[in-house]
Each structure stands twice: as C-alpha cells, then as structure tokens.
C-alpha cells in the first residue's frame, strides 16, 4: 500500500441538504481514525475557506458532539457557490490553493457537493499533479436534486424526497377538508431535473392529481384543460410542479405573464421561484376556483426531523469511503452508489471518475413520465421508495431537534 | 345519574389541525363504548352534514382502522365554515337540525372546533331547550391559533407550535450556510393572535432574530431599522411575522404597497397571505441584501409527522371527556384544560361554559412580548414548551405515514 502521510481538508459546497453533515461526519471520523492523516481540517465555506486560509481544526472537536452532525441539517462548516476559473485562463486561485496545501502539508482533499464541486475537485487535482504536488482528491456526492451522473442516486435526495412525499400526503388531506372547490399548486425545487418533484408521486393514494417535471415540455392550455377536468370531477385539484418547468421553446413558466425578479447566481443559474403562485392565478382565472400556491422552499432541503435513515446511513458511508479509499491510494474519484432493487434493495459503494459527474446533469428518464407529461410512472416509484425508508432517530431536547454545536477552532 | 339514551353526532368544524382527528377518535371511542349511546354518527362536513342529512355511521367502522385517526391530520369527517344565522332572525337551519335530531333520535351533539363552533353549539343547545327537545351539547376545543378563552391552551396548538419551532431551527442553519448576506422572512398563520408566531421563539439558540406578533403594532420604519442593524452586524437576518401584523391604524401590513387579492370567508374573516414576500421586498430595497420570503402555509396545520405527543394525548382525552361528561349528565359545556407548570407540567380537564369560549379571542399577553415589540419573552417559553413535548409515534409504511381510511357508510 502506498502510504501518504499528511493533513486533510474536508469542504462542503453548494446548496446544503439534511444529511450533508452526515457525509462530513463520515469523512471526519475516518480521517481522525486514520494513522496516515496527521491533522483534519474543515474548510470554512468550502473552497473559499481554503483561499481565505480559514480552516477549522477538527481534531479540537469533542467526538461525541461531532456525532450529532449525523442529524444536523445544512452545512456545519459553511458552504459556498464559488466557481474556480479555468486554470488555463487564470491560475491565481490554484496557486493560492497550492500555497495553503503546502502551508498545512495537506495531502488529502475531500469535497462534498454537486456537479460543480466535482469539477472543482477535478481541476484542483490536475493542477496539483502538473505542479508535482502529491495530493489525493476525492469527491463526495451531495445534492437534493439527484442529478449527478455516475451514481444510482445522490446523498441528500432520499431525505428531501421523504419530506416532499409526506408533506404531499398531509396537504392532500388538508386541501380537501371543506366541501367547497379548491385548487392547490405545490412548487418543488429542481431547475432542470424533476427528481424532487417526482417524489410527490411517492405519496401514493394521497399523491397530487397532476405532476409536472421539467423533463416534459409544459403547455399552458393543456395544463388548464387538465386542471379543469379534474376540478369539475372532484371539486378539488392538487398539482405539483417543478420550479423549472418550461414550454417547448424552453421559456420558463415562472417568467410567464410578467417575470418577477429573477437574479442569477455566480454559476449563471437563474434563481427561480413563484411558479406555484403564477399557475394558481391562471387556474383561478380559468376555473373560478379558490386557489392556493404553496412553495416547499428551503424546508425541503433542511427538514432533518423527517430525514430518511437510509439516506443518513448512506451519506455517512460515502464520507467514510472517500477517506478510506484515499488513504488506500485512490485519487481523482467520486464516491458513488451502485444499487440493486430486485429481491430487496442493496446499495454498494463504487468509485467513478470525477469527469463522469462533473458538469453533467442526470434527468428523470422520459419513459418514467406518462405520455401526457402530467404524471410519474411505477418505475420511478420502484426506484425511489427504498431511498426514503427508515426513520431518523434524531435526538430531541424538550421536543425539538438537538443539533451539533462545533467549537470551530481556527488553524493558526 | 340521569341516563339519557339515544344516538350521538360528532362533527368537526373550521380549519383542521394535525390532531383534530385524535379528538374525534376520543369522542367516537367513548361513544361506541357507552351503553347510553345507541348509535354513533359522524357529520359529513360539520353542521352542513346535519343540515344535508349526510351522516356517517361510525359503528360500521373497523375499530383498529379508526385507531389510526390518532395520527391522521386534517378532518377525517370533513369540515365547514358554515355560520348558523341568529335564530331570532332566521330559524330555518335550527328547525332542520331539530328535524334531523328527531329522525335519528340524536340526544348527544359533540362539536369540535374554535370559537365560532362554540357559538354554534350554544345556539343549537338553546334552540333545543326552547323546543323541549332533550339533547346534551358539548364543545371540544380545536385550533392551531390557540385563541380560545377559558382553557390554558387548545388542542392542535402544540403540534403546530412544534412544527414551527423545528422548522425555524432548520431554516436558521440553512439560511446562514453561505458567507454572503441574506434576509429571510418567515410568514406564520394567525390573524389576530400571535400564538403560532410566538412559537418561533421556542427554537431557542436557533430562533429568528426578530419576531413580530399582531398583539404589538407594527411600524415599517422601526422594522427596517431593526433588520438593518442585525444585517449589518451578522450579515444575516431571520424574521418571523404573523400574517395578521398591522400598523397602529389597524391597517394590515399584508395590504401595504398594493393589496394583492384578499377575499373574505363566510365569517367575514379576511383571507391573508403574502406578507413575507412583501416584507422581504421592502428589506431588499432597504438593505440591498438577497432576500427570501417563506410561508409555512398549510404545512403548519397538517404536519402530523411532527405532531406533539402531548398534544395528541390531550386532544384524545378532550374528545373522550366530552362524551363521558355528557353521558354523565353534563350539557352546554366546552372541555377545557387547566394546567400547572410549577414543579413539572400537569394538565387536568375542566368544563367551562360555551359562552366563555364563543366569539372571544385570547391573545398573547402584551407583557410576554418585549417592549420593542420584536421579540417574545421567557414567560411564553415556560408556557409553551411543555405543549410540544413528546414524539408522535405515528405508524409508517415504506417510510411514510399510515393514515386512517374510513369506510364512511352513510346513514340511510
């Protein structure tokens, strides 16, 4: 075995999830336990913490307190949406990263994020190699969007899906409590991939009547006809839509009839929102029904109180595997899941190239969506149901979650 | 003991809660178990089901399936917002109710709702008495708003408060994950009483920075100064507001700067909403920060997956007590809670007059709110913390809640 001794940095990037800290915990615990790792640093706000020389010393944390990270939502180390420039165009950031790596003798870098983060890993790794600095770089997947290629599913997705499905069930009952008409539109995250919105279908008997994903073009006339038909039959209609639904010309429905304020983040992604309110208003004008638009908003990515035990355990395992494999000599890989569902769900860890995951988006297969583009089919249910299984076991104090409180001692 | 033999009707009214079915279960089980009660009917959509002669025969339900009502949100029998006219002005509805009561030999009427429902109970009871029809009428309190007089707190409040507090904790962590500025405004239900919004303070170390209740006049300039100060200090600000906050002239903040569409329900209550988005926009214009408005919307009243065990047990007990006391000869009372908190929380059931609860609103005492009107004080925490204690124990199938499915056999 090729033993490489040195410090490690663990960073968290992109939008947080209910379980990104479970992955961090897996990585931190494995690193603290490894004789090869001399010091365990957590980067404050991802790669920005490396650039700013702001590293927390994880060796200084209480192990028992650290353990509560398993059930603490959001990114305990802080996150960022900072995009490294192409090193060919501007290598300032990379020089700085190498300087910091040298300063702390960092030989292991673990980055937990989505496809942008895998791209970051990839670029850093290549730069280090070109500059003759030995450093093993591993990506740990994370995204509620579940849009990373090369893995059966992503840590974070199961918990968000569980929250969405349970909330859809509850809203189904609530929204039909009166004998008066009502149209309810639920807005779920997902710019280009409809995985999260598809989770509404997991509500089974209590699922929304109509489910629209960005993988199928949205047509306003067909939507209004769909709603009208269901409303006339039942006196109620519940509709789940992805924030990123668009028409056949790729125009976002969120921008129909007056755009609202849409800004862009530093990756050029449009900040969406408001499509539920918009569709509810269209439906009201068309049906005369009382309407309500509901955005799951941040709640769907941070509701650790209803996290999936499967997701928590797999997220932790992914973090551990990244460190254990790196110590064993692996580099330039993303930890991925390989799953089988026939004869019971089984999930194994495998390692895929960073390129596989970087800058590609895995979408819901079109054949998992019905022909009309307003519903989700059984293959999706079979795929997703195992991912939401199991209850969190989160510790409570006075009836409320008990989150980890880290000391966050800065490296001098 | 004055034994009155006959059928009973149980009805649910007003906005549902996570635990209104627990109260129904308590009443139904007690009625099914009582030799005095010859038949147990559930009114479809509250008093409207009585008027429409639409009654479900609870004796036909499977007892084990019924038991799942304990953890099923919303009103399983259906609800209504129908307001009975004053019998002096128009007694059509009362004549019809008496006709139905006679038809089914109904001698017990249990109505589960808020202050409007207690008023309904009161009017029906008086009418029956005037017309020489012996019938015992009992109110069972229910409202997430916690605004009923005559009781320490209301069934339904604890579960909603628990959802709000836990969600505030999770959002607190999520909304400060980046090192960039962010102002987040949370909108919580409550037209005139701030009990639900006050629950944000239960989040303790993770509570919003500012909490505004309708019990204190809202001033936009002070609000913007408050937000600005916190934002400049921390780079983040989280604000919880009640949907019903208003200025010193009683003008709703939700109607500031263009009203949006506000309709009224049949009790003349304004349908609110949108104040979070409005305040977020004001805050953005004032601070330049990125902002986000989040409405807890229906989720706060139907999130049975995080219901309070205390609330569930008390709601069930309230339903049982209504039936048991009526069978024992009591009438014209609302079941209420009398609680002590010194030396540990204790809750006992007592009976109060229907008039005590009807058409009055109990507000958060002004002295439980800080002088600046932007925070909640310790006496509220001491009051509310016991109400959110204990986890639901809701049954799950495939990782999702298992709700009751009633047969709903209609009385011929």
Looking up residue B347, the CATH number of its domain turns out to be 3.40.50.450
Residues A173, B206: C-beta atoms closer than 8 Å: no
Nearest CB to B308; choose among A173, A299, A399: A399
Q: How far is A125 from chain B (nearest CA, A)?
A: 24
Q: Quick one: A23 and A120 in the same domain?
A: yes
Q: Quick one: A24 and A54 in the same domain?
A: yes
pLDDT one-digit tens code per residue, B103-158: 999 999 999 999 899 999 999 999 999 999 999 999 999 999 999 999 999 999 99
| pLDDT at residue B412, rounded to an integer | 87
Q: Quick one: A280 and A321 in the same domain?
A: no
Gap between the Cα atoms of A10 and A49, Å rounded: 10
| pLDDT at residue B1, rounded to an integer | 57
Tokens in use for B321? 């007590």
pLDDT band at A28 (very low <50, low <70, confident <90, very high): very high
Gap between the Cα atoms of A113 and B313, Å rounded: 42
Nearest CB to B166; choose among A48, A390, A401: A401
Question: Is residue B411 in some structural domain?
Answer: no
Q: How many helices (H) and strands (E) does chain B have?
A: 13, 13
Q: Quick one: B138 and B194 in the same domain?
A: no
Q: Which residues of A touch B308 (CB under 8 A)?
A: 399
Residues A303, B167: C-beta atoms closer than 8 Å: yes
Gap between the Cα atoms of B252 and B271, Å rounded: 12
Question: Is residue A195 in some structural domain?
Answer: yes
B10 in helix, strand or coil? strand
From A302, A320, A341, the end of a domain falls on A302
Gap between the Cα atoms of A335 and A137, Å rounded: 11
Q: Which residues of A touch B391 (CB under 8 A)?
A: 396, 399
DSSP state of A379: H
Question: Is residue B339 in some structural domain?
Answer: yes
Q: Quick one: B176 and B141 in the same domain?
A: no
From B266, B287, B302, the end of a domain falls on B302
pLDDT one-digit tens code per residue, B224-234: 999 999 999 99
Q: Quick one: B81 and B171 in the same domain?
A: no
Per-residue pLDDT at B261 exceeds 80: no
B394: Cβ contacts below 8 Å, ≥ 6 apart = B71, B304, B305, B307, B401, B402
Q: Quick one: B120 and B40 in the same domain?
A: yes
Structural domain harbouring A166: 157-302
Q: How far is B258 from chain A (nearest CA, A)?
A: 15
Mutate to test the interface with B, among A69, A185, A234, A298 (most CBs of B within 10 A): A298
Gap between the Cα atoms of A254 and A170, Å rounded: 26
State the DSSP string of A106-134: EEEEEEEESHHHHHHHHHHHHHHHHTT--
A291, containing H or E segment: strand A291-295
Question: Is residue A371 in some structural domain?
Answer: no
Of the given ranges (A78-82, A215-219, B324-328), which has the lowest mean pLDDT? A78-82
Gyration radius (Cα) of chain B, Å: 22
B176: Cβ contacts below 8 Å, ≥ 6 apart = A74, B182, B236
Q: Which residues of A touch B294 (CB under 8 A)?
A: 295, 297-299
pTM of the model: 0.95
From A280, A302, A324, the end of a domain falls on A302
**φ and ψ at residue A292, rounded to 5 degrees:** -150, 130
| pLDDT at residue A136, rounded to an integer | 98
Q: Quick one: B280 and B320 in the same domain?
A: no
Gap between the Cα atoms of B156 and B79, Å rounded: 15
Query: Does B226 participate in catalysis according to the annotation?
Result: no
Q: Quick one: B125 and B83 in the same domain?
A: yes
Q: Which residues of B touch A295 (CB under 8 A)?
A: 294-295, 297
How many domains in chain A? 2
Q: Quick one: B258 and B319 in the same domain?
A: no
Residues B173, A73: C-beta atoms closer than 8 Å: yes
Q: How far is A402 from chain B (nearest CA, A)?
A: 10
Per-residue pLDDT at B267 exceeds 90: no
Question: Is residue A21 in some structural domain?
Answer: yes
Question: Is residue A187 in some structural domain?
Answer: yes
| pLDDT at residue B264, rounded to an integer | 41
DSSP state of A175: T
Question: Is residue B368 in some structural domain?
Answer: no
Angle, helices B220-234/B275-287, rounded to nearest 10 degrees: 60
| pLDDT at residue A261, rounded to an integer | 39
The sheet carrying A136-141 orders its strands as: A55-57, A37-43, A6-12, A106-113, A136-141, A333-340, A346-353
A168 in helix, strand or coil? helix
Which ipTM score applies to this complex? 0.95
Tokens 């429409």 sit on residue:
B52
**For all residues of chain B together, what is the average pLDDT?**
94
Per-residue pLDDT at B181 exceeds 70: yes
Cβ(A31)–Cβ(A5) under 8 Å?
Answer: no
pLDDT one-digit tens code per residue, A191-238: 999 999 999 999 999 999 999 999 999 999 999 999 999 999 999 999
Question: Is residue B310 in some structural domain?
Answer: yes
């Amino acid at each position: 075995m090729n033993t490489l001794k040195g410090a490690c940095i663990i960073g968290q990037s992109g939008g947080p999830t209910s379980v990104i800290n479970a992955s961090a915990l897996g990585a931190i615990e494995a690193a603290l336990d490894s004789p090869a790792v001399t010091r365990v640093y957590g980067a404050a706000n991802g790669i920005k913490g490396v650039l700013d020389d702001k590293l927390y010393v994880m060796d200084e944390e209480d192990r028992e307190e650290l353990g509560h990270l398993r059930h603490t939502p959001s990114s305990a180390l802080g996150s960022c949406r900072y995009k490294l420039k192409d090193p060919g165009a501007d290598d300032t950031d990379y020089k700085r990263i190498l300087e910091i790596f040298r300063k702390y003798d960092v030989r292991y870098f673990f980055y937990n994020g989505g496809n942008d983060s895998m791209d970051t890993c990839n670029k850093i790794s290549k730069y280090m190699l070109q500059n003759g600095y030995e450093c093993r770089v591993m990506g740990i997947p994370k995204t509620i969007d579940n849009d990373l290629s090369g893995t059966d599913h992503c840590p974070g997705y199961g918990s968000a899906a569980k929250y969405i499905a349970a909330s859809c069930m509850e809203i189904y009952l609530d929204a039909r409590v009166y004998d008066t008409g009502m149209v309810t539109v639920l807005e779920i995250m997902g710019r280009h991939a409809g995985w999260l919105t598809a989770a509404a279908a997991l509500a089974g008997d209590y699922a929304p009547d109509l489910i629209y994903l960005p993988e199928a073009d949205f047509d306003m006339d067909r939507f209004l006809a769909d709603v009208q038909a269901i409303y006339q039959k039942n006196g109620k209609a519940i509709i789940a839509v992805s924030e990123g639904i668009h028409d056949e010309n790729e125009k976002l429905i969120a921008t129909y009839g007056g755009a609202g304020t849409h800004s862009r983040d530093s990756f050029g992604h449009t900040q969406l929102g408001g499509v539920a309110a918009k569709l509810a208003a269209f439906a009201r004008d068309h049906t005369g029904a009382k309407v309500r638009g509901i955005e799951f908003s941040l709640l769907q990515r941070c509701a650790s109180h209803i996290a999936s035990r499967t997701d928590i355990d797999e997220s932790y395992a992914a973090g551990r595997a990244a460190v254990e494999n790196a110590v064993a000599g692996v580099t330039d890989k993303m930890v991925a899941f390989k799953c089988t569902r026939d004869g019971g769900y089984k999930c194994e860890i495998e390692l895929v190239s960073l390129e596989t995951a970087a800058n590609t988006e895995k979408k819901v297969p079109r054949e998992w969506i019905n022909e009309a583009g307003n519903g989700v089919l059984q293959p999706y249910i079979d795929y997703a149901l195992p991912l939401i299984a199991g209850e969190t076991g989160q510790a409570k104090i006075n009836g409320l979650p008990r989150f980890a409180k880290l000391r966050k001692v800065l490296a001098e």
